[in-house]
Every structure is written in structure tokens, then in C-alpha cells.
């Protein structure tokens, strides 16, 4: 029967164990993508082969399903003779795909800063590094927090797909419990609640960042 509280109480510790792996995977993915996405965005802004390479990368990772990318990484590496763990393969695929999305968010943020802001900084004698750290990036950061929060939430939910390569996170543990208990509804309800708690925490963090960094435009 649905909403069996006793069952949910027994399920909870197992799901929390899985949540630890989910959080680890999500936090690592977000942290790596914040850096990697920026590198890709800068590369894409250059003219010539590097720009095309970055643009091509974004097209490929955005336009193929994450699950397939995960399989290709997981089985590709083991076919190549140096197998990666499910966790590492999942992390790599998550970073590859979300890096493309995050790069696009950065691109939008960078484009939102008017060329006049660059001119004003240069006219004051600022060189590239000072110009970016003082004038450009603070404005970019303020503008990309809302889409970056969305992306983080999407990453948390996307981690559920690594269940397909046997990583014991929330989703995989849920599947195991479904098989052993046959209580499908309660297991997935419990899993949904845990995801909801994690994504709510991410939205809250996003709100706090917004409050800290945004300014009247």
C-alpha cells in the first residue's frame, strides 16, 4: 500500500547513503563546470580554430542524450583498456554535457556587458586582468546567477542517470529497493522527496547568492 510510513522510515537511511553519493557527484560536477564552462566560453569567443573547436564541442554535447554520453564514456574507456569506475565515468559525462550548457550561460553573461564598459575601464588605464576582475566579471556573475541556479538544479536531477552505470546513488539504491521490496510507489516517492530537498537547498543557495551579488540595473 502507498504511504507506508514504517517502510519509508526503513528506506530513509539507505536513501540518505545514496544522497551522499548524489551530492558528491553534483557538487563536483557544478564546481568543475563553473571552471570548465568558463574556459570553453573564453575559447569560443576567440576567432579561428579554437573558437570553432569550442563551438563544435558545445553543439555535440548539447545535442546528444546524457545517458548515451555516459555509456560511451563508460564502455569506451573499458574498451580502450583502462576502465573508469562508474562514478568517474558518470562525473566525466556530466561535466562534458553540463560544461557545454554552462559555457553558453557564461557567453550570455559576457555578451550582456556593454562594450562601453570595457572602454570606460580602458580609458581609466586598466589592463586586461584589472578590467576583467574589476569591471566585467562582477557584472557577469550578477547576471548569470539565476541561470546558473537552474543549471545546478538540473545537474542534481541529471545525476540520477548514473544509476545506469551502477553507481550507488539515490536512483540506483531506489531501484534495488524496488526489486527487493516490490513497494515501487513508496520507494520512488521517498527518492523524489530526497531530490526535492536537495534541489530546494540549491535554489536557496542561488537566492542567497543573488542577494549578495545583484545590483540595481
Partner 1 sequence: MADISSDASSTAIDVRPLARRPMLEISGVSKSFGATQVLCDVSLSVAPGEVVVVIGPSGSGKTTLLRCINLLEDYEEGTITVDGAPIGYRRRGSERIRMSERDIAAARATIGMVFQSFNLFPHMTVLRNIAAAPVRVKGAPRETAEARARELLAMVGLSDKAAEHPARLSGGQQQRVAIARALAMDPKIMLFDEVTSALDPELVGEVLAAMQQLAQGGMTMVVVTHEMSFARDIADRIVFIDGGVIVEQGKPDEILFAPRTNRVRAFLKRYNDRYRI
Residues of the shown chain interacting with partner 1 in the complex, contacts defined by CB under 8 A? 114, 116-117, 119-120, 122-128, 130, 134-135, 138-139, 142, 215-217
C-alpha distances out from residue 190 to 69, 161, 165, Å: 28, 17, 22
Distance in Å, CB of 193 to partner 1, minimum: 38
Q: How far apart are the first and last CA of the chain?
A: 54
- Tallying the residues shown for the chain, one arrives at 217
Burial class (CB in 10 A: 0-12, 13-18, 19+), 96: buried
Kindly tell me which of 42 and 137 has the beta carbon lying closer to partner 1.
137
Distance in Å, CB of 122 to partner 1, minimum: 6
Kindly tell me which of 142 and 202 has the beta carbon lying closer to partner 1.
142
Kindly tell me which of 46 and 114 has the beta carbon lying closer to partner 1.
114
Q: Which residue has the cell 568558463?
A: 38
**Distance separating alpha carbons of residues 15 and 12, to the nearest angstrom:** 5
Distance in Å, CB of 172 to partner 1, minimum: 44
Distance in Å, CB of 141 to partner 1, minimum: 9
182: left (phi over 0), alpha (psi -120 to 50) or beta: left
C-alpha cell at 71: 555509456
Distance in Å, CB of 118 to partner 1, minimum: 9
Distance in Å, CB of 146 to partner 1, minimum: 16
Q: Which residue has the cell 550561460?
A: 105
Kindly tell me which of 10 and 212 has the beta carbon lying closer to partner 1.
212
Q: Look at residue 132 and give its three-state secondary structure.
A: helix
* Closest of 165, 2, 160 to residue 76, by C-alpha: 165
Kindly tell me which of 88 and 137 has the beta carbon lying closer to partner 1.
137
C-alpha distances out from residue 82 to 53, 74, 97, 151, 168, Å: 26, 10, 22, 31, 21
Kindly tell me which of 130 and 200 has the beta carbon lying closer to partner 1.
130
Amino acid at each position: 500500500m502507498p504511504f507506508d510510513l514504517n517502510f519509508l522510515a526503513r528506506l530513509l537511511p539507505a536513501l540518505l547513503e545514496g544522497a551522499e553519493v548524489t551530492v558528491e557527484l553534483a557538487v563536483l560536477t557544478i564546481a568543475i563546470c563553473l571552471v570548465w564552462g568558463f574556459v570553453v566560453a573564453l575559447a569560443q569567443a576567440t576567432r579561428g580554430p579554437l573558437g570553432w573547436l569550442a563551438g563544435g564541442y558545445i553543439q555535440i554535447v548539447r545535442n546528444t542524450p546524457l545517458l548515451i554520453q555516459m555509456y560511451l564514456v563508460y564502455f569506451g574507456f573499458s574498451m580502450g583498456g583502462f576502465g573508469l569506475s562508474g562514478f568517474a565515468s558518470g562525473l566525466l559525462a556530466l561535466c562534458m554535457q553540463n560544461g557545454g550548457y554552462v559555457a553558453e550561460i557564461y557567453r550570455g553573461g559576457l555578451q550582456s556587458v556593454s562594450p562601453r564598459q570595457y572602454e570606460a575601464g580602458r580609458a581609466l588605464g586598466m589592463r586586461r586582468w584589472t578590467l576583467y576582475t574589476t569591471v566585467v566579471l562582477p557584472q557577469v556573475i550578477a547576471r548569470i546567477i539565476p541561470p546558473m541556479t537552474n543549471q545546478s538544479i538540473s545537474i542534481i536531477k541529471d545525476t540520477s542517470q548514473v544509476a545506469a552505470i551502477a553507481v550507488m546513488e539515490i536512483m540506483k539504491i531506489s531501484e534495488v529497493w524496488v526489486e527487493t521490496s516490490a513497494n515501487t510507489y513508496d520507494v520512488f516517492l521517498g527518492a523524489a522527496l530526497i531530490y526535492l530537498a536537495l534541489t530546494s537547498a540549491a535554489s536557496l543557495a542561488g537566492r542567497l547568492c543573488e542577494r549578495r551579488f545583484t545590483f540595481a540595473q
